[in-house]
């Protein structure tokens, strides 16, 4: 168990270098299973979820080694297509392995990925797509068993699910015949996965914003790929500058992946300038309210930034309304923020947040990865000391979170039991 102890009231100042994106690293690591030769995945963040995924690949018979800033994965010696119960259950992203295992072996088996802290997290769209490709999918006794080589076809996704898009693209790489995915997700992490796969000799291309074509019948070869910068990590630290009235330069941030967030932060009164791949932000003394913010699939406002901006709104001048349209249970940080003096009403998918002049330190619990980050941001602003329990949840998505904030002037330290 880990705790963060934060003494609020300091404006952040300085520079932060953005790490590689967790939500690109995970599917790209899974995609390495398609390729029977060594691949190098650079700029890979050393996160607990990434270490878990590496463990799953090793359990499937792959060699996985950290070298420099990334991983070398050799799936040439992979021998089995069944994910072990004890490992696969620990992270939702184990479900990303179904597609590449099907594409490589024509078989895949995994425990049903549990729900998690932000909602039910079904995989029906993934399985429906596999069935459309002629794969036999059995869901008895809490495991998912897939059998049969995928056949290229046209698949229309009812919802632009990120994971389903990634899984189906990876299965399509090993399919006989071409696949067209209609209404795919448009997150930048999808394009990073496609760039990795195209670099390994597969052929995936977007046809406008609502179709992706995958040529079948190709065999992957070794390649090297550098993971794109993590837009959610960058957004989290931008919001840290906003809530503390600080001044930060984010090195390596891609502003074109952050436009919905940057619009919201400017509405809150931040001054933001971009120079090449750097973003320079100055937060206001006290943020303005966000009259209405709605989370949507990309390029809409990202659900993974909702809790951090929720924290910002708790100290705004007026009343903000946030609508969480992507996950059904992603306001659990609200009750924790109330313990710090926030004034907010949670009504299903909407949160009404009446800004208060100041928050006060309290003992709070990180209920999920991004909710934990939000509580830390609130602690940076609050009067007095905030103690956050279950802080290890933050390690899933941020490398050296406390140290990064400390080097930007925050009074924050971590205690591991
Ligand atoms: C990915 O999750 C990300 N995780 C999430 O980031 C992110 O919040 C989410 O995309 C949305 O951007 C990774 O990439 C590892 P979805 P994923 O499939 O793929 C419903 C973080 O904090 N749905 O787009 O699970 C689902 O229940 C994490 O970094 C179905 O109904 O997201 C949800 O309501 C959290 N059936 C909505 O779609 C399905 O088969 C969005 O899910 C699949 C999804």
pLDDT in tens, the chain (417 residues): 999 999 999 999 999 999 999 999 999 999 999 999 999 999 999 999 999 999 999 999 999 999 999 999 999 989 877 787 777 766 677 888 999 999 999 999 998 876 567 777 789 999 999 999 999 999 988 889 999 999 999 999 999 999 999 999 999 999 999 999 999 999 999 999 999 999 999 999 999 989 999 999 899 999 999 999 999 999 999 999 999 999 999 999 999 999 999 999 999 999 999 988 999 999 999 999 999 999 999 999 999 999 999 999 999 999 999 999 999 899 999 999 999 999 999 999 999 999 999 999 999 999 999 999 999 999 999 999 999 999 999 999 999 999 999 999 999 999 998
Residues forming a β-bridge with 154: 180
Alpha-carbon dihedral of residues 368, 373, 378, 379, nearest 10 degrees? 100
**What distance lies between CA 378 and its chain's CA centroid?**
21
| DSSP-derived pairing of the beta strands 211-214 and 224-226 | unpaired
Among 220, 244, 266, smallest CA distance to 104 is for: 220
- Residues 216, 235: Cα–Cα separation, whole Å: 37
Only one residue has tokens 């500058």, namely 241
Distance between start and end Cα atoms, the chain: 5
The answer to whether the Cα torsion of 108, 109, 112, 114 is positive or negative is negative
Task: Find the 92 Cα to ligand 1 centroid distance in Å.
Answer: 10
Identify each DSSP E strand in 276-406 by its residue range: 278-282, 293-294, 319-323, 343-347, 350-354, 363-365, 385-389
Can you tell me which atom of ligand 1 is nearest the CA of 297? Answer: 12
- Residues 347, 401: Cα–Cα separation, whole Å: 31
Does residue 173 carry a catalytic annotation?
A: no
Task: Find the 341 Cα to ligand 1 centroid distance in Å.
Answer: 31
3-state secondary structure (DSSP) of residue 129: helix
**CATH class belonging to 2-19+229-416:** alpha beta
- Residues 75, 90: Cα–Cα separation, whole Å: 22
3-state secondary structure (DSSP) of residue 304: helix
For the chain, residues classed under CATH 3.65.10.10 are 2-19+229-416, 22-226
Domain at 22-226, CATH from 3.40.640.10, 3.65.10.10, 3.30.1360.120, 3.50.50.60: 3.65.10.10
Among 121, 108, 113, smallest CA distance to 170 is for: 108
Backbone angles phi, psi at 270, to 5 degrees: -80, 150
pLDDT at 114: 62
Burial category of 93 from C-beta neighbours within 10 Å (exposed 0-12, middle 13-18, buried 19 and up) = buried
Catalytic residue among 44, 62, 116, 146: 116
Backbone angles phi, psi at 236, to 5 degrees: -65, -45
* Residue 184 to residues 30, 102, 198, 294, 301, Cα–Cα distance (Å): 19, 20, 17, 20, 17
pLDDT at 90: 66
3-state secondary structure (DSSP) of residue 193: helix
Ligand 1 pocket mutation pick from 20, 21, 23 by most atoms within 8 angstroms of CB: 23
**What distance lies between CA 183 and its chain's CA centroid?**
20
Ligand 1 pocket mutation pick from 94, 119, 159, 236 by most atoms within 8 angstroms of CB: 159
Task: Find the 163 Cα to ligand 1 centroid distance in Å.
Answer: 6
């Amino acid at each position: 168990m880990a705790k963060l102890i934060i003494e609020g009231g300091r404006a952040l100042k300085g520079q932060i270098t953005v790490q590689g994106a967790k939500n690109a690293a995970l599917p790209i690591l899974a995609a390495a299973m398609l390729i029977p030769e060594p691949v190098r995945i650079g700029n890979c963040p050393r996160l607990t979820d990434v270490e878990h995924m590496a463990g799953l690949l090793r359990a499937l018979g792959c060699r996985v080694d950290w070298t420099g800033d990334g991983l070398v994965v050799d799936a040439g010696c992979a021998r089995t297509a069944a994910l072990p119960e004890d490992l696969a259950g620990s992270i939702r992203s184990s479900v990303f392995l179904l597609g590449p295992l099907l594409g490589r072996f024509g078989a895949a088996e995994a425990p049903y990925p549990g729900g998690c802290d932000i909602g039910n997290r079904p995989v029906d769209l993934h399985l429906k797509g596999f069935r459309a490709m002629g794969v036999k999918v059995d869901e008895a006794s809490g495991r998912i068993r897939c059998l049969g080589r995928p056949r290229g076809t046209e698949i229309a996704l009812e919802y632009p699910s990120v994971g389903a898009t990634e899984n189906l693209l990876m299965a399509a790489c090993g399919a006989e015949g071409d696949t067209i995915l209609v209404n795919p997700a448009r997150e930048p992490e999808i394009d990073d996965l496609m760039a990795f796969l195209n670099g390994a000799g597969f052929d995936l291309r977007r046809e406008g914003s609502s179709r992706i074509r995958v040529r079948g019948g190709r065999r992957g070869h070794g390649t090297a790929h550098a993971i794109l910068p993590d837009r959610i990590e960058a957004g989290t630290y931008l919001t840290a500058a906003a809530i503390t009235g600080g001044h930060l330069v984010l090195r390596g941030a891609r502003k074109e992946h952050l436009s919905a967030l940057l619009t919201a932060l400017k509405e809150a009164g931040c001054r933001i300038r971009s120079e090449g791949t750097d973003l320079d932000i100055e937060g206001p003394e006290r943020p303005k309210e966000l009259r209405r913010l709605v989370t949507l699939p990309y390029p809409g406002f990202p659900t993974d930034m909702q809790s951090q901006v929720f924290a910002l709104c708790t100290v705004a001048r007026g009343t903000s309304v946030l609508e969480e349209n992507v996950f059904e249970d992603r306001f659990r940080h609200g009750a924790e923020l109330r313990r710090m003096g926030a004034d907010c009403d949670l009504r299903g998918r909407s949160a009404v947040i009446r800004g208060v002049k100041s928050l006060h330190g309290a003992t709070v619990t990180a209920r999920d990865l991004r909710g934990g980050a939000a509580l830390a941001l609130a602690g940076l602003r609050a009067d007095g000391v905030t103690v956050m329990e279950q802080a290890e949840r933050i390690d899933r998505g941020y490398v050296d979170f406390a140290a990064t904030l400390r080097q930007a002037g925050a009074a924050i330290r971590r205690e591991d039991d």
